[in-house]
Amino acid sequence: MVPRCYKSVNGVWEVFAITTAGLQAWVDYIPVRVVATRPASTRNRYENDGWMQVRFLTGPEADAAEAWVDYTPVGNNAAGDDRWSTNQPGGYIPVGTNANA
């Protein structure tokens, strides 16, 4: 399931990048991939070229917060090839920190 409910501040998804060794995608963390092209017109949209704007928390911020409540744990799926999919192992949510196109 691609999450449609998540912790956000001003429409920006709060995430923390974790080490995923020994963890299960879509259970222990959400696989994401920073995409190169991020048009402002598709920010926070679930279209094929859509992407979610995120803010990656720092370690101290995450230490003071609770996973799945204050932020979403995410893992980088750099090899992912199945955008907006929960398929294993290629599924991921496309993300970026700001629009660039």
79 DSSP 8-state letter: T
Mean predicted confidence (pLDDT) in 90-101 = 87
Task: Give domain limits for the chain.
Answer: 8-96
Mean predicted confidence (pLDDT) in 76-89 = 91
Amino acid letter for position 19: T
- Express each pLDDT in 17-73 by its tens digit: 999 999 999 999 999 999 988 999 999 998 888 999 999 999 888 899 999 999 999
CA dist., res. 95 & res. 92, Å (int)? 9
Calculate Rg over the CA atoms of the chain.
13
End-to-end CA distance of the chain: 28
69 DSSP 8-state letter: T
pLDDT attached to residue 4: 61
CA proximity to 17, closest of 79, 86, 95: 95
pLDDT attached to residue 11: 81
* Res 6 pLDDT > 50: yes
pLDDT attached to residue 3: 58
